[in-house]
């Protein structure tokens, strides 16, 4: 039985052999793992570069958009100022027209009163030797043609 025990490798020999085989397998495994991490780092770096480029492009687009919006706001403010000025001008013009309208209305009322006063005073017309008093209302009622016939005959 001792011969069998002597035949078994010692613990040190076993460990050394095991580590030898593991090292042989471990070197390619570590090489592959290191390559993968480098590949991952490259992918991560590529993604970061793409992300930065997109960020810069978006910032450029946002800058252009902000500039466009500022120009639009300035244009709208200018249009608002012009419309406000035009509105003030039109208000002044409307006030002037209202004053003119009031003056015309007063003149119309005055002329109506004048006609009414003149209508009360009769117009004396001599027809066929007789004197006839006609008011303007009577002349309007008779009609222009009848008055001409009356005066002409």
User: Which residue range(s) make up the domain with 152?
Assistant: 121-153
Report percent pLDDT > 90 for the chain.
23
Place of tokens 């590529």: 46
Q: What does the block give as tokens for 121? A: 């005073």
Q: How many CA atoms lie within 13 A of 132 on its CB side?
A: 13
Residues 6+ apart with CB under 8 A from 134: 122, 123, 124, 125, 142, 147
Place of tokens 């001008």: 89
Place of tokens 């390619």: 28
Residue 129 DSSP class: T
Q: How confident is the model at residue 97 (pLDDT cuts 50, 70, 90)?
A: very high
Report percent pLDDT > 70 for the chain.
59
Q: How many CB atoms within 10 Å of residue 60?
A: 10
Domains: count for the chain? 2
pTM: 0.37
Q: How confident is the model at residue 98 (pLDDT cuts 50, 70, 90)?
A: very high
**Backbone dihedral angles phi then psi of residue 121, each to the nearest 5 degrees:** -80, 125
Residue 126 lies in a domain: yes
Query: Is 64 found in the same domain as 87?
Result: yes
- Name the strand (E) or helix (H) holding 8: none
Q: How confident is the model at residue 80 (pLDDT cuts 50, 70, 90)?
A: very high
The average pLDDT across 129-150 equals: 65
User: Given this model, what pLDDT does residue 143 score?
Assistant: 62
Query: Is 153 found in the same domain as 106?
Result: no
Average pLDDT over the chain, rounded to an integer: 76
């Amino acid at each position: 039985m001792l011969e069998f025990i002597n035949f078994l490798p010692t613990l040190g020999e076993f460990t050394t052999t095991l580590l030898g085989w593991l090292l042989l397998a471990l070197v390619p495994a570590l090489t592959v793992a290191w390559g993968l991490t480098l590949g991952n780092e490259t992918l991560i770096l590529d993604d970061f570069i793409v992300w930065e480029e997109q960020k810069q492009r978006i910032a450029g687009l946002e800058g252009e958009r902000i500039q466009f919006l500022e120009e639009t706001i300035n244009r709208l403010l200018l249009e608002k100022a012009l419309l406000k000025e035009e509105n003030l001008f039109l208000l002044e013009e409307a006030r002037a027209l209202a004053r003119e309208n009031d003056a015309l209305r007063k003149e119309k009322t005055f002329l109506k009163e004048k006609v009414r006063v003149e209508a009360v005073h009769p117009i004396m017309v001599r027809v066929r030797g007789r004197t006839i008093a006609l008011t303007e209302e009577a002349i309007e009622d008779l009609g222009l043609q009848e008055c001409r016939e009356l005066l002409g005959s």
